[in-house]
Structure 1
Amino acid sequence: MIDTQTIRIEATENSRISELDENNIPFGKLYSDHMFTADYIDGEWQDLKITPYQNISISPANTTLHYAITVFEGLKAYRNPEGEVIIFRPQANAKRLNVSGERMCIPELPEELFMEALTELIKLDSSWVPSKPGTALYIRPFIFGTDEYIGIRPSDNFRFMIITCPVGAYYTQPVNVKIETEFSRAFEGGTGFAKAGGNYGASLYPAKLAQEKGFHQLIWTDSKTHEYIEESGTMNVMFIVGDTLLTAPTSGTILDGITRNSVLTIARDWGMKVEERRISVKEIIEAAKDGSLKEVFGVGTAATIAPIGKIGFQDEVYELSDPAEREFSIKILKELNDIRTGAVEDKYGWTYKV
């Protein structure tokens, strides 16, 4: 384990906790008092510290500004009925961060460093973890190259940071999505499986065009034929057709979502028929037309379970069932919330108490 004595802590003298209103928490707008940083220099992670949340200074020639050498994660902390702080599946995020990092030529971050940094930071800012139902403390770990160099090569030096912010719901209403058949998010051999910053930057323009037509998000399709469903812009996507839960298999173009894995694990334990396979756009549209498409929803850390209200494809918009009447979506959301907040026994070993 990383010796926590090596983490230097500089606590703020001016907490902003009074700015937190649990009845009105905008997503990603209010940040907690402290942040963690560590630098990778001369082949090792060093200078581990927690400081007051503040701006950072980087060179105009910073390699990440020019070549997007950066990866990130997202996870949440909650309060259990006893008021203790628990984090949902942080070890899975630590592992995935390194999977993404390898693809972007970023050195391995020891999982014990990730966990110790996370633990110490959340302990210090525990008052920022809200307790109101539907709220959480969102945690954003990320790594970026720090070389001062204009040239296309891997960075030699890096910074690992963790910042946090209290959040409410990411989506406050059912999500309307458009099936994208012109632009592509990812392709085999690319970085689609990684949580790399460039993936998201490249997706913004097609998403903006969809938003101008009244959609909140896209459902991406495969880059070769645009005939098969992949994922949505902020989440994996799932369908219930008949009595079967369907989702696309993770691959080189689809993120291995932690919420996705959690939902599939629980659904199988409940005895539900689950299929991870290629899903054609044609199949989903036909199911929407004949009424066998019972539920469509996104799954992700930020979105949690996000019911999809409408699907746009070509020039048609298909209205889906009332989210208030969707049995599985409601049930799985409650189960996940109960596990994450300690309201029920965590038989999977997913929660980590700070």
Structure 2
Amino acid sequence: MSSQIEIQRIEKSKIASVDFNNLPFGSVYSDHMLECNFKNGAWQTPVIKPFSPISLDPSSKIFHYGQSIFEGMKAYKDAENNTLLFRPLDNWKRLNKSAERLMIPQIPEEIFMEGLKALLKVDNDWIPTNEGSSLYIRPFMFATGSGFHASPANEYKFIIATAPSGAYFAGKVKVLIEEKYARAANGGVGYAKAGGNYAAQFYPTQLAMDKGYNQVIWTDDNTHQFIEEAGAMNIFIRINDTLITSPTSDRILDGITRKSILQIAEDAGIQTEVRKISVGEVVEAAKNGNLKEMFGAGTAAVISPIAGFGYQENDYELPVLENSFAAQLKKKITDIQTNKVADPYGWRIFV
């Protein structure tokens, strides 16, 4: 497949204009992107081309019926300048799970993996080597076929774009437990990385930000009594020395970082529980001092500690711990990702 990928190189790289010591998250873009079109019932030959705008007909169904899905990944450099990926096949499988739910044709593993590796080789100099930085990778697929009829499109576009990035969050994160709005419902698309899931989060998140919070803790759509996700991330809650996270479902994304944390924590002797956890249990643990940590987990931030949360007009602060579970687990994951320690799980892939 790699020999079949067409490569159109940029005339002049813009890399010299980038300050790699001061990278915002996801807003500086590498020189190239991979593009592959689906038409006449088949995926066409992938092309690596200069990062550039896309031209679409106003009747393209992405604009009208929202057939759009994406993934989030990262590439890293180790001390020997090797390029590494972390569990990329999990991203490919999840992208296709999302595609199935939104009636988008699934992308073959060969196009996804060989196209990604070829793109990283072309833009290898864009992968940061600074501590805490990485090359954020955004594979996405959307409907390009035209028509106002409410039905799946007959043409689609798959793109992989990349952005050298620093930390996702800076400073302490304070969250508000949501009591009215829901991120997803049973039977819906909450488990898929569909663009509409995130668009629907923006309004309630802004309401929380207007009150002085950074993010929302989502609760179940029916009773709003059970903790589900933290903003755009999975959530972990430590009560005493037990680390708890909600089970995946139609409403909750099967996070790759989440799965990694559970495996590493269990192997490190940390007691873990995957179960429903009520808001009442969290509030009670905060009141009696048993709530030790809360943190979000996802590709972008890896682990984002939560400093405090609000619920029913009350604020609860979390203690500042030395050698927290969040710090231990983040170090272990990032050390595996950057080839600083052994990888007993086979998660690390060299490009």
1:246-285 Cα distance to aligned partner (Å, 9 max, x none): 0000000000000000000001111221100000000000
SS at match of 1:144: strand
Matched, 1:318 2:316: yes
2-side partners of 1:171 and 1:50: how far apart? 31
1:288 counterpart residue number: 286
> What's the counterpart of residue 103 of structure 1?
101
SS of residue matched to 2:44: strand
Measure, in 1, the Cα distance between the counterparts of 2:99 and 2:147: 20
- 2:66 is matched with 68
Of 21, 24, 27, which residue of structure 2 is paired with 1:26?
Answer: 24
2:347 equivalent to 1:353 = no
1:178 match? 176
State how 1:236-275 maps to structure 2 within 5 Å. 236-275=234-273
Compute the TM-score of the two structures, normalised by the length of structure 2: 0.99
Letter of the 1:78 partner, please give it.
Answer: Y
Is structure 2 residue 339 aligned with structure 1 residue 342? yes
Displacement of 1:243 in angstroms is 1.3
SS in 2 for 1:302: coil
- Aligned partners of 2:167, 2:129: CA distance in 1, in Å? 14
Match of 2:212 among 211, 214, 220: 214
Matches within 5 A, 1:11-90: 11-90=9-88
Q: Percent identity?
A: 49
Local SS of the residue matching 2:27: coil
Q: 1: CA distance between counterparts of 2:19 and 2:144?
A: 36
Structure 1 position 232, deviation (Å): 1.4
Aligned AA (2:153): S
Three-state SS of the structure 2 residue aligned to 1:25 is coil
CA apart distance, 1:326: 4.8
Partner of 2:230: 232
CA contact (8 A) 1:74 1:138 kept: yes
Correspondence 1:77-156 to 2 at 5 A? 77-156=75-154
Report the 3-state secondary structure (helix = DSSP H, G, I; strand = E; otherwise coil) of the residue aligned with 1:127: helix
The alpha carbon displacement at 1:66 in A equals 1.4
| Alpha-carbon contact 1:287-1:293 (below 8 Å) kept | yes
One-letter amino acid matched to 1:312: G
Supply the distance in 2 between the matched residues of 1:283 and 1:254 (Cα, whole angstroms).
20
Unmatched runs of 5 consecutive residues or more in structure 1? none
Which of 168, 185, 199 is 1:201 aligned to? 199
Cα distance in 2 between the residues matched to 1:46 and 1:118? 16
Q: In the TM superposition, what whole-angstrom CA distance separates every residue of 1:274-311 from its partner, at most 9, and x where no partner exists?
A: 10000000000000111101111000000111000110
Separation (CA, whole Å) in 2 of partners of 1:314 and 1:118: 46
State the distance in 1 between where 2:64 and 2:301 align: 30
The one-letter amino acid paired with 1:328 is: F
Verify: 1:307 aligned to 2:305, yes or no.
Answer: yes
Q: How far off its partner does 1:222 sit?
A: 0.3
**After superposition, what is the alpha-carbon deviation per residue over 1:155-181, rounded to whole angstroms, capped at 9, x for unaligned?**
111100000000110001121110001
C-alpha distance in structure 2 between counterparts of 1:304 and 1:80, whole Å: 18
What CA RMSD, in Å, does the superposition of the two structures yield over aligned residues? 0.9
Deviation at 1:20, TM superposition (A): 2.2
Q: Aligned with 1:289: secondary structure?
A: helix
Alpha-carbon distance between aligned partners in 1 of 2:89 and 2:136, rounded to the nearest angstrom: 16
Structure 2 equivalent of residue 164 of structure 1: 162
Amino acid at match of 2:24: P
Query: What do residues 120-149 of structure 1 show as CA deviations (whole Å, max 9, x unaligned)?
Result: 000100100000100000000000011111
Alpha-carbon distance in structure 1 between the residues aligned to 2:191 and 2:82:
34
Q: Which runs of 5+ in 2 are unaligned?
A: none
* TM, length-normalised to structure 1: 0.98
2:187 is matched with 189
What is the number of equivalent residue pairs in this alignment? 351
- Pairwise CA distance, 1:314: 1.1
Task: Assess if the C-alpha contact under 8 Å between 2:73 and 2:136 holds in 1.
Answer: yes
* One-letter amino acid matched to 2:155: N
Amino acid at match of 1:241: I
For 1:72, give the aligned amino acid.
F
For residue 242 of structure 1, report the CA deviation from its aligned partner: 1.0
Q: How many angstroms apart in 1 are the aligned matches of 2:33 and 2:53?
A: 10
Instruction: Provide the C-alpha distance between the structure 2 equivalents of 1:126 and 1:333, rounded to a whole number of angstroms.
Output: 25
Runs of 4+ in 1 over 4 A off after TM superposition: none
Q: Secondary structure at the match of 1:204?
A: helix
CA distance in 1: counterparts of 2:327 and 2:281, whole angstroms? 24
